[in-house]
Amino acid sequence: MSVTSWFLVSSSGTRHRLPRELIFVGRDECELMLQSRSVDKQHAVINYDQDRDEHWVKDLGSLNGTFVNDVRIPDQKYVTLNSLCSVFSLT
């Protein structure tokens, strides 16, 4: 059985390994902290579906939204993260 590792990679090349559990993304006291003024304190959540070996992202009603492949995702609705996608375009 192969094990897939998932990473978020910043535009500078920094890699953040995604665990196989639910994590919060934001500026303060989150499992994945992104230091940007466009990121809320609790911005989004990434959840792992073990049966499908997939990660899902959900915006938590953030002011600037969460984007997957440059498309803003609806608040409070999970969207699948595919093998190559752009998430959290930061300014």
Sequence-distant (≥ 6) Cβ neighbours of residue 82 within 8 angstroms: none
Would you say residue 12 lies in a domain? no
pLDDT in tens, 14-51: 787 888 889 999 998 899 888 888 899 999 999 999 89
Of 50, 45, 56, 60, which is closest to residue 82 (Cα–Cα)?
56
Provide Rg for the chain, Cα atoms: 12
pLDDT at 89 over 60: no
Give the pTM: 0.80
Would you say residue 19 lies in a domain? no
Would you say residue 86 lies in a domain? no
Number of domains in the chain: 1
Would you say residue 49 lies in a domain? yes
pLDDT at 55 over 80: yes
Of 7, 18, 1, which is closest to residue 84 (Cα–Cα)?
7
- The residues facing 20 across adjacent strands are none
Find the domain containing 44 and state its range. Answer: 24-81
Range 50-63 average pLDDT: 91
| pLDDT at residue number 90 | 52
CATH of the domain at 56: 2.60.200.20
| pLDDT at residue number 91 | 47
Would you say residue 88 lies in a domain? no
Would you say residue 47 lies in a domain? yes
